[in-house]
Amino acid sequence: MHLTLRTSLLAAAAQLACGGDSGSTDSDAAATTTDKTTTDPTTAPGTTSTAASTDTPTTGPDPTTATTVTSTTTADTTTGAALDCADLPLCEDFESYADGAPPDPAIWTVGAPNCMGTGKLAVAGDQAHSGARSMRVDGGGGYCDHIFIANTAAITGLGDQVHGRFYLRLTDPLGQGHVTFLTMKDNNDGGKDLRMGGQSQILMYNRESDDATLPTLSPTGIAASLAPTPGLWTCVEFLIDQTQGQITTWVDGALVPGLRADAEPTPDLDQQWYNKPDWKPTLVDIKFGWESYAGQTMVLHFDDLALAAAPIGCD
């Protein structure tokens, strides 16, 4: 995480991204002028933030948590609720649709690139994180059995810091084979997707262009990620710093070391990711669904999908 020696080699500053600062910025009229990029790094909310490991004090705190448990402002609430869903560039709770319907076609395009098979999705009332509905995906086991909802408008308007938050409920454990449940098209990588999904039974990222994984799927790398518990809602938050070429990920509010690419290649973690050292995504859409490359089928649900230019939190 030291900038000085690495910058020229990597062409990417290894600053710690400000993933842990208050989520109370930007979207609330009562917010102070404090900007998310300059928020005092010592005020990281949550549980484990500490300055001890932060060697880039000019930026945000050690992003050990993106949750917005506390806020430094007084007018805002002290939780992520400061970011009202309605104020976010993208926020979808699936509550305004009928069971069995697709989500709003003005917001979401339902589709399957290249080919279409058995995969299907619809708003459903059999599970919900918020309210009474979520989006159910019945994902097939073949590549062409994939199905996604896609939004292009929100992510392109965010700027360099892409903060995402969604709730995921898997019916079954992730298998050994590679699967994807979230993809973002990267116009700076030949239009190929940055994918989030599973392999080796854990959450991981995959870069479509070269099949790199984050973490590296070695025993050490696998141990640095985690496996969502089937049948439970899991809050996933991510920050993609497009300028720095960095990824930070939190699951249920806790930083996941194996799902972090911090521009300083680390064996078993993000070294493979930076085999493409100039990786700096330009994300132009976000898609939620299911795509399977080794046969695994899955019934999965998504709820409370959100994108913003600041941390969103799990609330």
**Among 24-32, 60-68, 84-92, 133-141, the segment contacting Ca ion (CB under 5 A):** 133-141
Is 303 a binder of Ca ion (CB under 5 A)?
yes
Closer by beta carbon to Ca ion, 35 or else 126: 126
**Among 27-35, 131-139, 191-199, 285-293, the segment contacting Ca ion (CB under 5 A):** 131-139
Among residues 43, 130, 188, 209, which is the contact residue for Ca ion, using CB under 5 A?
A: 130
Q: Taking CB under 5 A as the criterion, which residues in 151-210 touch Ca ion? A: none
Is 92 a binder of Ca ion (CB under 5 A)?
no
CB of 80 to Ca ion, least distance (A): 16
Closer by beta carbon to Ca ion, 128 or else 254: 128
**Among 90-98, 106-114, 155-163, 261-269, the segment contacting Ca ion (CB under 5 A):** 90-98
Quick note: the x/- pattern for Ca ion over 244-283, rule CB under 5 A, is ----------------------------------------
**Among 77-85, 123-131, 181-189, 200-208, the segment contacting Ca ion (CB under 5 A):** 123-131
If you write DSSP's letter for every residue of the chain in order, what string do you get? Answer: --HHHHHHHHTS--PPP-TTS-S-SSS-TT--S--TTTS-GGG--SSS--GGG---TTS----S-------S-SSS-SSGGGS-GGGSSEEE--TTS-TTPPPPTTT-EEE-SS---S-EEEEESS--SSTT-EEEEEE-SSGGG-EEEEE-TTGGGS-SEEEEEEEEEESS---SS-EEEEEEEETTTTTEEEEEEEETTEEEEEETTTTEEES-SSHHHHHTS--PPTTSEEEEEEEEETTTTEEEEEETTEE-GGG-B-SS--TTTTTTGGGSTT----B--EEEEEEESSS--EEEEEEEEEEESS-----
CB of 170 to Ca ion, least distance (A): 17
Is 131 a binder of Ca ion (CB under 5 A)?
yes
Is 128 a binder of Ca ion (CB under 5 A)?
yes
CB of 111 to Ca ion, least distance (A): 22
The count of other CB atoms within 10 Å of the CB of residue 96 is 12
Closer by beta carbon to Ca ion, 94 or else 108: 94
**Among 103-111, 128-136, 205-213, 268-276, the segment contacting Ca ion (CB under 5 A):** 128-136
Size of interface with Ca ion, in residues (CB under 5 A): 7
Is 124 a binder of Ca ion (CB under 5 A)?
no
Could you tell me which residues come within 8 angstroms of residue 8 by beta carbon, excluding any fewer than 6 positions away? none
Whether the Cβ atoms of residue 294 and residue 74 lie closer than 8 Å to each other: no
Closer by beta carbon to Ca ion, 82 or else 91: 91
Residues that bind Ca ion (CB under 5 A): 93-94, 128, 130-131, 133, 303
